[in-house]
Amino acid sequence: MVPEYISNNSINKKLTNDLISQLISLLIIIAVVIYYVANKEWRSTSIFGFILIIGLVVILEAFLQIPAIKKRPTFSSNGPVPLVLYNLCILLAVIFYIPLYSPFIFAIATIIFITVYYKGIYSVFFSIINLIALVIIYTIKYGYPNLPNSHIYPYLLIMVGTAFAGIVQRAGSMDAKIRKELSDTSLKIANDRLQLSSLINGINDSIIATDNEGKIIFYNSSLLKLMHVEFVEINKPFSDLIKLYDDQSNLINFFNIFVPELERQNIQNLHIIDSSNQKKYISIDISRVVSEKLNKQSAGAIILIRDITRQKSLDNERDEFMAVTSHELRTPIAIAEGSISVVLNNKLLEALPTELKDNIDNAHKSILELANLVNQLKDLSDIEKNNLQLQYEYIDPENILNEMKDRYIEDAKNKNIDFSIHFEKNIQKIYSSKAYLDMILESLLDNALRYTDKGSVTLGVHQSSNNPNMIIFSVRDSGMGISNSDKDRIFTKFYRAEDYTKKHTKGAGLGLYLTKKMTDAISGKIWFESELNKGSIFYLAIPMNQNK
């Protein structure tokens, strides 16, 4: 769960010692009285006075520990009653038993320090009044001490005691302020922790925090539900708690798929087996935690695990439906397209009214768009089921670019868009799937021309500067670009950008998803750079030597 912080009670326990200070001050009084009584140096032999002092001490401590009494401000450890009784004990002890001008002066100083430091400003007045009363009563009863210039000692004792009490009170008030700030801060941390804990435990997705060794620091309650357990041991390695399996049910090591250099990472197509032997499909989002103290090195990770079992089931049902539907639609669509093509190529079409010819032409275009959508659904079904039939061959990148130029130059001219190609000289051939490479580039060029109203589209290829075994194709356009809110989902199935309706473009949101899937199938990588209303650049990195 969420780690504990130092509580308000813990700080108070460490910083406030009211009960201890009471016991120390009372023990000092008792010890000094017993010392002087034992050595027969007391001023009066009244046993009643001695019993009175000890009785006051004992009764005071017992009285102040009664719960009902402790709750009352007057009798609390900071209230006036304990302070009066403490000082009364000191006064009686000095008057009846203990010489004032003796080592007991240090005992008085200690008691003043303890009471003033822990009891606050009110105890300063009690201590000063008590000190003045002590000196006056003692001097009246026993006279001045037998010392040179003895008449100045009472005044000196009062001045020094008063100054000492003031200094201690100032230090105590500063300490009390700091203790209050720490207490308030501790209370705020506790409240923030409670809110954070409630928030994290209220999230349906499982959240796990690990240190830089992959050991679990905390987790939320959704993890228990995901794993179907009642408890997860803190400091347990993540890989020991959750066993990850890929699509082929092969056990994979978490650290083999986790890339510490990436700030964020999303891993799909995984599943786990919980404690009840249930298979659950999951997706994992990993955010790296960077420590400033470790020079921005990785200090662990926050792992978010989403249970997508139901979504996976719905996706499988949908894929099955699309596979059946696309298969059943291909034949009637082919027949309809062929029939309309025959009509369009018939000489009798010329005799028909213009409006009717336009309707037939629009019907032909629509049936072709429907055929394209059905083909995309068929490709999607094949990819989702891994029914890929790849044929590899040596491909000349320069020839690919020239073929694409011949294929799209007319479409670009019809939109008054400048279409160009750019390639490095003497670029080497690659060994890959030409059919998939053609489809990937066609998809990227289709999008570039579709979302560009003016300007240019450029298709290029160059050798990778970072990896000599990779070549990179690029499709640059000056079109509408992609907003930041769309960038993370641009390769998602059935997703279309927010502004697509404004462009009146048609499509099912499968093009870039299929492009990404086909890129993965030939061990390539695809990414893009884009700025809204300024255009986009899509990059396709293909290994030069592909062996399947």
pLDDT in tens, 436-452: 899 899 989 988 998 89
> What is the predicted pLDDT for the residue at 60?
64
Please determine, for residue 77, whether its predicted confidence score (pLDDT) is greater than 60. Answer: no
pLDDT value at residue 218: 86
Q: pLDDT value at position 295?
A: 61
- Residue written as tokens 């409006």? 355
pLDDT digits (tens, 9 = 90+) for 240-281: 888 888 877 888 877 776 666 667 788 888 888 888 888 888
Q: What is the pLDDT of residues 193-240, one digit of tens each?
A: 888 888 888 888 888 888 888 888 888 888 888 888 888 888 888 888
Domain ranges of the chain: 8-189, 206-307, 313-384, 392-543
Q: Does the 206-307 domain belong in CATH 3.30.450.20?
A: yes
Mean pLDDT of 317-332: 75
Are 136 and 130 contacting, i.e. CB atoms less than 8 angstroms apart?
no
Q: Cα 25 to the chain's mean position, in Å?
A: 50
Distance CA 547, CA 390 (A): 11
pLDDT of 16 higher than 50: no
**Spatial contact of 87 and 130, defined as CB atoms under 8 Å apart:** yes
CA distance 439 to 449: 15
| Whole-prediction pTM | 0.46
Measured between alpha carbons, how far is 256 from 65 in angstroms, rounded to an integer? Answer: 62
Mean pLDDT of 329-348: 78
How much is the mean pLDDT over the chain? 76
Confidence band (pLDDT; 50, 70, 90) for 117? low
For residue 411, give Cα distances in angstroms to 400, 406, 414, 415, 453: 18, 10, 5, 7, 12
pLDDT of residue 14: 42
User: 120's torsion region: left (phi>0), alpha (psi -120 to 50) or beta?
Assistant: left
Cα 478–chain centre separation: 37
Rounded CA-CA distance 250/11 in Å is 51
Q: What is the pLDDT of residue 83?
A: 64
User: Mean pLDDT lowest for which of 60-74, 143-157, 530-544?
Assistant: 60-74
Q: Which of 31, 48, 14 is nearest to 111 (CA)?
A: 31
Tell me what pLDDT residue 5 has. Answer: 41
Residues 24-29 have a mean pLDDT of 60
Kindly indicate whether the domain formed by 392-543 is annotated with CATH number 3.30.565.10.
Answer: yes
Rounded distance, CA 493 to CA 499, Å? Answer: 17
CA-only gyration radius of the chain, Å: 43
pLDDT of residue 440: 92
pLDDT one-digit tens code per residue, 386-397: 666 678 899 999
Coil, helix or strand for 418? strand
Conformation bin of residue 295: beta by default, left when phi > 0, alpha when psi is -120 to 50? left
